[in-house]
Chains A and B, each alone.
Chain A
């Protein structure tokens, strides 16, 4: 815990950081933004004899809903900005005071529960075509993933191969919320293989509403957004990560990095300690592991910071960040979603306990290394 920075090297604000990266910024695309980019046969199935502007009736959304109106309506107090163009992304970057963003989708967070496997793959392809043509732009720091549909790992691998040479594509995005079976399953390994070959990290991002699709059944018995949103992000990640470790995914794909988004912080050291604890007793269940589970987390998993819990309590925040490992943490905002963190939120807490180098890495250095942009 060095505090040896000289006064002039000390980071007081994010202006003191050379390149600030937001590891989870959101485009707020809706199906109508990108659906015209979908390939045949789906394009003809939808638009032969119709125009985009026609009412598509029950085709108006292929993405299942958990009954949310919108985050703005749920809170009743705010309207989320629409982010569906370069200009609106730039506006968000100004609000956050960041230099680069890893721009993730919003409606396609629900892609993993689209009830048509081939269509899901086609939607991923359409979204990628739209976002590459209209939004990603390295000259203004807008980078992002190639989104893939976990329902069709073979198509996902093709998508990765087709997109990997785009300058702004820096990762592979699996919408992990509601994705079933969990992501350690061998059926997904073609995705990991293609990502590893392409040199791209795999990003996991849940949406709490996707719980209507799958794990865990008890959430179908909840009756408010609160009881759904509080536990689901971390729980779903814990399920996926534990399944991946159990099946040896990081052993098999030892050159592959994973980026786990939007579940806050405290659950990460908990999961690491719990897995190591269980590993001591149940090693025979995971005999392919060559080191304790937490070591795979240290070596190959990165976590984005938002939504930071406990920022008002520096003892909590600093302990948790130290326990999960500052080198595995990337700042993220989640802008413009309801619970976004402003860039200063994390920094305020960390300034007193972490070195300038550690803070610079959290705010950009680690993302630049992992996303290689």
Chain B
């Protein structure tokens, strides 16, 4: 059972049918809620760079390099890029992909009876 005092009901699973992202607001805090292959994740919608609405940006994977620098496409659906300057953030960890000492807050998500709850 989800502790309803701790977790807030914010969306339904069916809300993600058209888009893997839903923007929510909990006590004035803007949060992006994302559906990935591994479940649901929530991050703050405020880019630590210059305050852009980062969760409104493109959801994608990330280009990475292998041992011989061959390009790969990884983390599909787990990266959101701020629409202002393209700063990429890992939806799961909140870490900036380039400067990993930069991160945005993440929030616990739980699903019960097709309802999505966030602790914020």
A64 CB to closest chain B CB (Å) equals 35
Query: Across the interface, which residues of A come within 8 angstroms of B10, CB to CB?
Result: none
A281 interface contact, C-beta 8 A: yes
- B102 → chain A closest CB, angstroms: 8
Residue numbers in B under 8 Å from A248 (CB-CB): 65, 69
A283, B82: Cα distance in complex, Å: 13
Query: Which residues on B sit within 8 Å (CB–CB) of A283?
Result: 88, 97-98
**Residues of B close to A281: CB separation below 8 A:** 85-87
Output the nearest chain A residue to B85 by Cβ-Cβ distance.
Answer: A281
Contact bitstring A281-294, B, C-beta under 8 A = 1, else 0: 11110011000100
A192 to chain B, nearest CB (A): 14
B87 lies within 8 A of A287 (CB):
no
A281 to B83, CA, bound (A): 11
Tell me if B96 counts as interface (CB < 8 A to partner A): yes
Closest Cβ neighbor of A186 among chain B residues: B69
B85-102: which have CB < 8 Å to A?
A: 85-88, 96-99, 102
Check: A7 CB closer than 8 A to any chain B CB. Answer: no
A284 touches B62 (CB 8 A): yes
Contact B63 A287 (CB under 8 A): yes
A52 within 8 A of B: no
A284 to B79, CA, bound (A): 12
Size of B's binding interface in residues, CB under 8 A: 16
Q: Which residue of A lies closest to B102 (CB)?
A: A280
A276 vs B98: C-alpha distance when bound (angstroms):
9
Which residue in A252, A280, A282, A288 is a CB contact (below 8 Å) of B96? A280
From 264 to 288 in chain A, residues with beta carbon under 8 angstroms from any chain B beta carbon are 276, 279-284, 287-288
Q: Is the CB of B69 within 8 A of A282?
A: no
Contact A292 B98 (CB under 8 A): yes
Pick the contact of A292 from B86, B87, B99 — CB < 8 Å?
Answer: B99
> CB < 8 Å: which of A279, A282, A284, A288 contacts B99?
A279
Which interface residue of B49, B64, B65, B86 has the most chain A CB atoms within 10 A?
B65
Given contacts A280-B87, A281-B86, A281-B87, contact A288 B69 (CB under 8 A): yes
A98-129 CB mask vs B (1 if < 8 Å, else 0) is 00000000000000000000000000000000
Q: Which of A216-256 contact B (CB under 8 A)?
A: 248, 252
CA distance A292 to B85 in the complex (A): 17
Q: List 28 A-B contacts (CB under 8 A).
A: A248-B65, A248-B69, A252-B69, A276-B99, A279-B98, A279-B99, A280-B85, A280-B87, A280-B96, A280-B98, A280-B99, A281-B85, A281-B86, A281-B87, A282-B86, A283-B88, A283-B97, A284-B62, A284-B63, A284-B88, A287-B62, A287-B64, A287-B65, A287-B71, A288-B65, A288-B69, A292-B98, A292-B99
Interface residues of A, Cβ cutoff 8 Å to B: 248, 252, 276, 279-284, 287-288, 292
